[in-house]
Amino acid sequence: MKTHYYLGWFNHFFPENLKSVLQEDITDRKSVVMISANPSSYEEEDGATEQSWLDQAGILFDEYHLINNHVLKEDAQTLIQEASVIFLLGGDPLKQIAFLKEYELSEWIKKSNAVVMGASAGAINMSVKGFGSESSGFKVEHSSVYDGIGLDDFSVLAHFDLENNMDLVQRELSPLSEEINIYASNKDCAVRVLGDRMDIISDVYLISHSKIHKLEETL
């Protein structure tokens, strides 16, 4: 059964309800493979925040790997194939999706039986469609919809602020919401997909057919 976690950003650590289900779902803890969202920067701290969330939750691994431009393409694909958990890091979603294409990692991620997690940019790119616009924090000249990995048939909007982003939703996301559901979240929240089941943690909104409503928390 495929297990996917679409995470917002956590200023501190995972809440107790998220920690609990992660501990249940992540039983194989041989290796975690993190995929950079700024792969050419080679920052030593890349992934440190996301790893600290796992550490604090008591989810420790035998091996920790970071995939960026330092890693050979063939080695990156092997790491993905052998991973217990694949974690797409936060950062720049456009740089990350370009890197995934360059290294031909998306299909390996889709084939994997590992638990797949994404935070912020990583969560956006796990879904079937990503959305980029200047008003949503992207450094782009024109708003655009791009193909994500497609682990699930919906889109994710990270850092969603209902008060400040309503114009964005109505003006830019309505066309996409006519085609697929968009799950919009901000900080300290998550969407968990376990097979055919979806769980909601904290404040997550569904945008569908140009309408928006807050989803009930299920965990």
Residue 138: pLDDT over 70: no
Q: Lowest mean pLDDT of 74-83, 134-143, 151-160, 188-197, name the range.
A: 134-143
Tens digits of per-residue pLDDT, 54-76? 999 999 999 999 999 999 999 99
Listed in sequence order, the residues at least 6 apart from 215 whose beta carbon sits closer than 8 Å to its beta carbon are 183, 200, 204, 205, 206
Q: Which of 171, 155, 160 is nearest to 136 (CA)?
A: 160
* Domains in the chain, CATH or no CATH each: 3-214 (3.40.50.880)
Q: Report how far residue 32's alpha carbon sits from residue 80's, in angstroms, rounded to the nearest whole number.
A: 9
Residue 143: pLDDT over 80: no
Band (134; pLDDT cuts 50, 70, 90): low
Residue 136: pLDDT over 70: no
At residue 91, what are phi and psi to the nearest 5 degrees?
145, -130
